[in-house]
């Protein structure tokens, strides 16, 4: 349910994005922070939240995150201007970062090791169902009310989630580290990522050679280098670099970062193309775009079975290549003339690739982790994905630019699909390094797991 709320929120905000820009009089580059700020805080705080969940207790941290997410949704829904809206989105990002690793740790720990891959498949299916409900149910409510419903619906779900979790969830065992987690390191990586995203997203209007662009990107890179160095020496690092000794985790993490950059750009580009180039209303655009997450939701369990049978490499590479082909087709097939049937067909094809990659990537990230590191390991993998999504949105804004006419919008968003193509092809190449044999989680005998 927690993962559903988070993914629903991401999807419904994308659908409401053009209406938010129009109602508050915001330029696209400024409005992109509605998505990017959330992703930056979500991604950069996931790991420290995962460590806190292991230290304090996953149930307690989970409920704190749900409450914070709901509070941010309330503030964003009532926002009279961009500044207040961004404040609400920031609180939502922090809340999502707090609740997700605790939820993942609670869920995965409830299954024996040989069922983790399938459990992650259903986890992915529920998330995809949340993405599917955003452009359908969420868009329908927005159509009859306004864009503020994009935040009031998650608020209501958080209230229900708090009520249900008090009765259903059991507290997890806690660990007692000898040192405090590196909270200054969390602040450093957050500021560094924000600086990088600022430079990339503003490059279209400032220019790549502008001192402001160069300074923002350079400051971000230097900050990230300092963060990595700090993690090597800190007694209780935010990002445990020893996690990357696992080949499966390492490939899943870095390929996930790149992939979700393309996925974030793809999702937003779809909505903007349908709304701006083909001038559909919020509900029509949402229903057309819904074909993708519906496909992912339906096929994610099958993706889990593929990973169990063939290992992680084949479905990861195949899924990324299917997305590459679909993005190329979208880039060359569409102009300002509406062709919704063909658009839906391509979205379904891409959805099939998405289901194979996302399910496999999530399972590979946790397949080799011991039970006591599930929250922090799952948080690290999710952090890389959210950071990738923030950069993907920033790159999309830079590539699309500031079109004026309908034809300009069509051309600009075709460039956006070519950006997605390049990112997905890179993901496919990276995924060839993934483990090719079935994971231990896929074939460990039940009796051996019980005795262990």
Burial 425-436 (b: 16+ CB within 10 A, else e): bbbbebbeebbe
| pLDDT attached to residue 390 | 82
Global pTM reads 0.78
Asked if residue 52 lies in contact with residue 177, where contact means CB atoms within 8 angstroms, the answer is no
- Three-state SS at 266: helix
Residues 156, 129: Cα–Cα separation, whole Å: 18
Please provide residue 451's backbone torsions phi and psi, each rounded to the nearest 5 degrees. Answer: -65, -35
Alpha-carbon separation of residue 69 from 101, 102, 173 (angstroms): 14, 14, 24
Count, residues in the chain: 452
| pLDDT attached to residue 439 | 44
pLDDT in single tens digits along all 452 residues of the chain = 899 999 899 888 988 998 999 999 988 878 888 988 888 888 778 777 877 887 788 888 999 999 999 999 999 999 999 999 999 999 999 999 899 888 888 887 778 877 877 787 778 778 778 877 888 888 889 989 999 999 999 999 999 999 988 788 877 666 666 677 788 888 898 888 888 888 887 776 788 888 988 999 999 999 999 999 998 888 878 777 888 888 888 999 999 999 999 998 998 899 889 988 999 988 898 889 888 878 887 887 777 777 778 788 889 999 999 999 999 999 999 999 999 999 999 999 999 999 889 888 888 887 777 766 666 677 777 778 878 888 898 899 889 887 878 888 999 999 999 999 999 999 999 999 987 655 443 443 333 333 33
| pLDDT attached to residue 171 | 76
What is the domain class of 2-169+238-440 according to CATH? mainly alpha
CB contact set of 229 (below 8 Å; sequence gap of 6+): none
Residue (of 352, 300, 326, 347) closest to 423 by Cα position:
326
Residues 444, 12: Cα–Cα separation, whole Å: 40
Asked if residue 77 lies in contact with residue 148, where contact means CB atoms within 8 angstroms, the answer is yes
Asked if residue 257 lies in contact with residue 46, where contact means CB atoms within 8 angstroms, the answer is no
| pLDDT attached to residue 76 | 96
Alpha-carbon separation of residue 337 from 158, 310, 407, 411 (angstroms): 41, 42, 9, 12
Residues 299, 358: Cα–Cα separation, whole Å: 11
- Domain locations along the chain: 2-169+238-440, 182-237
Asked if residue 385 lies in contact with residue 260, where contact means CB atoms within 8 angstroms, the answer is yes
What tokens were used for 406? 């309908």
| pLDDT attached to residue 319 | 93
Residue (of 174, 192, 308, 286) closest to 239 by Cα position:
192
| pLDDT attached to residue 199 | 85
């Amino acid at each position: 349910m927690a993962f559903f709320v988070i993914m629903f929120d991401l999807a419904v905000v994308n659908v409401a994005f053009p209406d938010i820009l129009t109602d508050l009089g915001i330029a696209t580059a400024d409005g992109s922070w509605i998505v990017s700020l959330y992703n930056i805080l979500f991604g950069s705080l996931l790991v420290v939240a995962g460590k806190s969940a292991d230290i304090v207790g996953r149930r307690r941290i989970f409920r704190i995150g749900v409450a914070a997410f709901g509070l941010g949704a309330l503030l964003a829904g009532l926002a009279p201007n961009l500044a207040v809206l961004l404040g609400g989105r920031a609180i939502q990002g922090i809340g999502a970062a707090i609740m997700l690793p605790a939820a993942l740790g609670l869920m995965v720990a409830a299954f024996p090791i040989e069922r983790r891959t399938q459990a992650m498949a259903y986890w992915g299916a529920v998330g995809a169902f949340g993405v599917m409900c955003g452009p359908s149910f969420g868009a329908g409510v927005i159509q009859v009310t306004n864009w503020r419903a994009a935040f009031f619906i998650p608020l209501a779900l958080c209230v229900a989630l708090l009520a249900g979790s008090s009765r259903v969830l059991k507290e997890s065992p806690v660990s007692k580290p000898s040192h405090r987690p590196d909270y200054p390191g969390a602040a450093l990586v957050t500021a560094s990522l924000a600086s990088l995203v600022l430079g990339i997203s503003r490059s279209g209007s400032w220019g790549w050679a502008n001192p402001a662009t160069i300074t923002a990107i350079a400051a971000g890179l230097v900050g990230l280098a300092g963060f990595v160095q700090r993690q090597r020496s800190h007694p209780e690092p935010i990002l445990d670099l020893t996690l990357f000794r696992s080949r499966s985790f390492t490939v899943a993490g870095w390929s996930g970062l790149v992939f979700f950059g393309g996925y974030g750009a793809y999702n937003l580009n779809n909505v903007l193309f349908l709304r701006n180039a083909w001038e559909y209303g919020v509900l029509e655009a949402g229903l057309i775009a819904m074909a993708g997450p519906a496909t992912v939701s339906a096929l994610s369990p099958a993706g889990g079975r593929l990973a169990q049978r063939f290992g992680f490499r084949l479905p990861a590479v195949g899924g990324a290549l299917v997305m590459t082909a679909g993005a190329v087709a979208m880039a060359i097939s569409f102009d300002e003339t509406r062709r919704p049937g063909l658009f839906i067909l391509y979205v379904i094809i891409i959805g099939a690739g998405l289901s194979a990659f996302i399910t496999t990537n999530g399972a590979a990230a946790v397949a080799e982790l011991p039970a006591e590191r599930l929250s922090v390991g799952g948080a690290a993998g999710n952090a890389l994905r959210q950071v990738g999504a923030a950069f993907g949105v920033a790159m999309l804004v830079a590539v699309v630019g500031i079109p004026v006419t309908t034809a300009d919008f069509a051309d600009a968003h075709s460039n956006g699909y070519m950006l997605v193509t390049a990112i997905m092809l890179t993901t496919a190449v990276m995924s060839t390094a993934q483990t090719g044999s079935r994971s231990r989680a896929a074939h460990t005998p039940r009796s051996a797991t019980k005795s262990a």
